[in-house]
Structure 1
């Protein structure tokens, strides 16, 4: 099948983008399965244009969609409101393609729906109504569509995201080496947090909980892996000040941005993987999926949205959001019960099989085939 995927933030780019990473992983997996895949992205793209996936960096140069949609039988628009500010013409594509002779079948993959803007409130129902079909990339999007646009829910299929961090071969065997390279104690309990550093990730709660934990587990260390965007550097400085005030700064290591294979090895240094989101854990969080995919004991927070995937005490350990003492107690409990932590890790790895890229690609391919048959 010939597939065109539209994503303005397709990597590599200066700034990390979860939707861009998702598009890269899915495009490459579809191509490995025999599909002919072209990615249309913005003119800021800085990578190769040929390879397993062809890349056309034409968004933003005024190019009409008809100039590039001929490369596909199916066109899949990766949608999050912030990706298309100033690119409102993207919302015309499903309708234009529907009435164009030989045009592609258009699918819209929704990663998020709303950002508070009027444009997003207008664009989402329009795209759902005019696309041949839609894909929801997580339970939050699915629930919002059912609640706000119930008449269009049947036009949408949920296919969760996968981890954009592949497990590095032999990563487990390098655990001691990675700890030594980072000047981390070989046998001390290590907590790892991974993801972009910005408000909402629960890092304030994590630091406060870590300070409480250190009163009981004196040699515990915390490793923060992930990039900080320029606009969030002030926020990170505030976290560093919090660490100083809580007297944990010497026990916190900031690893910063690292290549994917190195991130995988850093994750493997963890005794516990801690992602205490302010709004609770859901499968839209790529950082959560990364921990599951690495078979780590994941400690996170409860969401108000019931999940068909996350089961407290089975494949993840959950505590109330923004509750540092509850988080500290759970961390201490699991550090004191390595067999229980290992069982959680096995549950995480089993769940992650549902989010493997070959599974995601196969489900996506079936959606594409159905809409093409109806063309």
Structure 2
């Protein structure tokens, strides 16, 4: 029986993308017969109880004393241990500069003989701009990266672009890199009656329901702020549904500046997975702009794809070629508000195009991003079929 140790900075009941992803991976591997040990921090709330998954909430504040204790606990398992580390530099405390954690992982590989695999969700802070503290953190992040790449036997990447960023810090070491896309963390709920009721509530006159799903961070909110009023002022036959944690705040900001559209903008706030799926299914089109462009690390677009929703999104420097090659989304350059809004209007005006985008979205998700591809790749220890199918440029 395969035994694997998943080390993560977040795990349910904590909220966050890494938490959701870690839970999906743990339960997905366990469903294939592996015994999974999750090492994480303690958290408030109801803990999941999944078959085949043992959760050890022992990381504390991830200080050296915590790591020594966890190390002794790991030593009780048969050597060599297989460690799968969910890596985001800001996730492990110490003001996003936890060098002791990286050195601890290096010790697990070099001294204890454990196999360390990294799943890189985000590599490091970029240089340029920011405060001197941020510039200092960017330097430390690269030192951390060199240590981690010296420890790792394999590096999994949420987007192919991270390989170009990370490869120089392997310092000539031939570490295999492989793309491992992030799957949707929201199951599709088939509940047509509830969806009909939601549409009647949000669009009582039969208007189009334009949706956006996310957590409404500043960079994405800045893209939505000019686009939404432009879209809404162009037609009275649509209503906007902002879905997810933080949506109420963005609605308030938009309405404060544009009170004339107050009745046509709705916000759900945080929803459970079941209600979230129902609200998504009530939408005619999803608008999902991203400041660095749509990419396979964006869980919010994966959720929309898996639900078979027509998507209007943006291209940027992190956008993989598959998004245009697949023709599964309507895509415009990031920052071009006029083109973005015009693309939304064009999709809304064409029922055949919405139907085509819906089918293409569902097909792309199943072929490239379904969780089964991720689990198969981790178990086989090699690139998934999804990676082989995409041109990385």
- For 1:226, the equivalent position in structure 2 comes to 244
Matched, 1:321 2:334: yes
- For 1:243, the equivalent position in structure 2 comes to 255
Distance of 2:233 and 2:326 partners within structure 1: 25
1:5-46 CA-to-partner distances (Å, cap 9, x unmatched) read: 011211112xx2111110001111100111001110012354
CA displacement at 1:83 relative to structure 2: 0.5
1:205-242 CA-to-partner distances (Å, cap 9, x unmatched) read: 3343332233342021111111139xxx9xx36x6233
1:89-124 CA-to-partner distances (Å, cap 9, x unmatched) read: 3212333223445x4311111110113513312111
Q: Structure 1 residues 367, 190: closer, same or farther in 2, change over 3 A?
A: same
Distance of 1:166 and 1:263 partners within structure 2: 9
Q: Structure 1 residues 249, 142: closer, same or farther in 2, change over 3 A?
A: farther
Q: Structure 1 residues 222, 50: closer, same or farther in 2, change over 3 A?
A: closer
- For 2:41, the equivalent position in structure 1 comes to 42
Which residue, 57, 67, 75 being the options, matches 2:72? 67
Moved more, 329-338 or 182-191: 182-191
Matched, 1:256 2:257: no
CA displacement at 1:153 relative to structure 2: 6.8
CA displacement at 1:250 relative to structure 2: 1.8
Structure with the greater relative contact order (CA < 8 A, sep ≥ 6): 1 or 2? 1
Matched, 1:190 2:228: no
Gaps of 5+ in 1: 370-375
1:334-361 CA-to-partner distances (Å, cap 9, x unmatched) read: 1110111111121111111111111111
Contact kept in structure 1, 2:326 and 2:364, CA below 8 Å:
no
Aligned residues: 357
Moved more, 250-259 or 114-123: 114-123
- For 1:373, the equivalent position in structure 2 comes to none
- For 2:12, the equivalent position in structure 1 comes to 11
SS at 1:256 equivalent: coil
- For 2:102, the equivalent position in structure 1 comes to 91
Moved more, 281-290 or 241-250: 241-250
Which residue, 336, 345, 355 being the options, matches 2:358? 345
Distance of 1:166 and 1:184 partners within structure 2: 24
- For 2:129, the equivalent position in structure 1 comes to none
Please, what TM-score do these two structures have when normalized by structure 2? Answer: 0.83
CA displacement at 1:173 relative to structure 2: 5.1
Distance of 1:3 and 1:311 partners within structure 2: 37
Contact kept in structure 1, 2:149 and 2:175, CA below 8 Å:
no
1:270-297 CA-to-partner distances (Å, cap 9, x unmatched) read: 1101111122111111111111111111
Distance of 2:50 and 2:318 partners within structure 1: 40
Contact kept in structure 2, 1:171 and 1:264, CA below 8 Å:
no
SS at 1:60 equivalent: coil
Q: Structure 1 residues 252, 312: closer, same or farther in 2, change over 3 A?
A: farther
- For 2:54, the equivalent position in structure 1 comes to 54
CA displacement at 1:322 relative to structure 2: 2.2
**Residue pairs, 1:359-370, within 5 angstroms:** 359-367=373-381
SS at 2:119 equivalent: strand
- For 2:30, the equivalent position in structure 1 comes to 31
Matched, 1:205 2:216: no
Contact kept in structure 2, 1:69 and 1:75, CA below 8 Å:
no
- For 1:114, the equivalent position in structure 2 comes to 124
Please, what TM-score do these two structures have when normalized by structure 1? Answer: 0.87
Which residue, 125, 130, 137 being the options, matches 2:151? 130
Q: Structure 1 residues 368, 341: closer, same or farther in 2, change over 3 A?
A: closer
SS at 1:258 equivalent: coil
- For 2:90, the equivalent position in structure 1 comes to 82
Contact kept in structure 2, 1:11 and 1:45, CA below 8 Å:
no
Q: Structure 1 residues 112, 153: closer, same or farther in 2, change over 3 A?
A: farther
1:172-227 CA-to-partner distances (Å, cap 9, x unmatched) read: 453212223x44326210111111121111x3433433322333420211111111
Contact kept in structure 1, 2:210 and 2:283, CA below 8 Å:
yes
- For 1:372, the equivalent position in structure 2 comes to none
Root-mean-square deviation (Å): 2.5
SS at 1:127 equivalent: helix
